Amino acid sequence: MTKRPIIGITGNESKGKESWENGITRTYTSKIFSDIIMESGGLPIVLPIAHPDFVEDYVASIDKLMLTGGQHVLPHFYGEKRSIQSDDYNEARDLYELRLVEETLKQGKPILGICRGLQLVNVALGGSLNQMVANHWHETAPSRGHQTIRIADQSILHDIFGDYHDVNSLHLQSIKTLATDLEAIAWDSNDQTIEAVISRRHAILGLQWHPELMVRQDPVSQKIFDYFVNEMA
């Protein structure tokens, strides 16, 4: 039997809200991530937020890393002060996942970054973020496209989607300065926000939208995960 690639999926945290839970913290990820990884032939493993000392062993135990969405990345990690009023941060997660990116690249393993995951990779490699952007948060029907992206020729996304594709949009931050090791391969067709990147030296694919929320209504989106699980190296 062929060994399934082990896909480490970064987890988020939430506090239990029931009285009997007494503030218990849960580690979680969206079930759709594990479903689509299994449908692509991978073995999903959720990686809890942990002390950075655990990172080397976690990365050694997986074949590929998927960085999921969630909180904003704290701006001091890219040399700026907070310019917005928000409590949607988790410094422990930032520290852990920045170390995850570093170690995954050191061990030569592929990374797929989704939404926050794209932003985190950009910061980890020396880029910066716009702390607040307008017209990119569309909660209604995220299984359908709300904006059109323009896709670079001769890129993996062009192989999947062609010149243009409609995608959802659920982000309040975006790439401001692109890390020198990264190359943009898709842009919002209206305001040119960077919507996807690859690395010049590493196996990295970063997406600003949430393809996992679209796969049931837009089956071609599954090809992103098929590529990540089975081909990206």
* DSSP β-bridge partners for residue 64: 7
Is 210 considered catalytic here?
yes
**88 pLDDT tier (thresholds 50, 70, 90):** confident
Q: How far apart are CA 216 and CA 220, in angstroms?
A: 9
Domain edges within the chain: 6-230
Structure tokens at 133: 């952007």
Which is the catalytic residue, given 97, 103, 195, 212? Answer: 212
Among candidates 206, 4, 14, 187, which has minimal Cα distance to 110?
Answer: 206
Of 28 and 114, more confident: 114
Whether 45 contacts 37, CB under 8 Å: no
Q: What's residue 25's pLDDT? A: 87
CATH topology of domain 6-230: Rossmann fold (3.40.50)
pLDDT higher than 90, residue 87: no
pLDDT higher than 80, residue 203: yes
Q: What's residue 97's pLDDT? A: 98
**Coil, strand, or helix at residue 41?**
coil
Which is the catalytic residue, given 72, 115, 136, 165? Answer: 115
Give the residue-averaged pLDDT of 89-94. 96
**213 pLDDT tier (thresholds 50, 70, 90):** very high
In this predicted model, what pLDDT tens digit does every residue of 138-164 receive, in sequence order? 766 677 888 999 999 999 999 999 999
Sheet of 194-199: strand order equals 43-47, 6-10, 64-67, 111-114, 204-207, 194-199, 182-188, 147-151, 164-167
What CA–CA distances, in Å, run from 223 to 43, 112, 133, 182, 228? 17, 13, 29, 22, 8
Instruction: Provide the mean pLDDT of the chain.
Output: 94
Q: What's residue 79's pLDDT? A: 97
Whether 55 contacts 95, CB under 8 Å: no
Given CA atoms 200, 34, 43, 4 in this order, what sign does their dihedral have?
Answer: negative
**166 pLDDT tier (thresholds 50, 70, 90):** very high
In this predicted model, what pLDDT tens digit does every residue of 20-61 receive, in sequence order? 667 788 888 999 999 999 999 999 999 999 999 999 999 999
CA dihedral 188, 189, 190, 192 (to 10 degrees): 50
Between 110-114, 126-130, 188-192, the lowest mean confidence (pLDDT) is in 188-192
Give the residue-averaged pLDDT of 65-83. 95
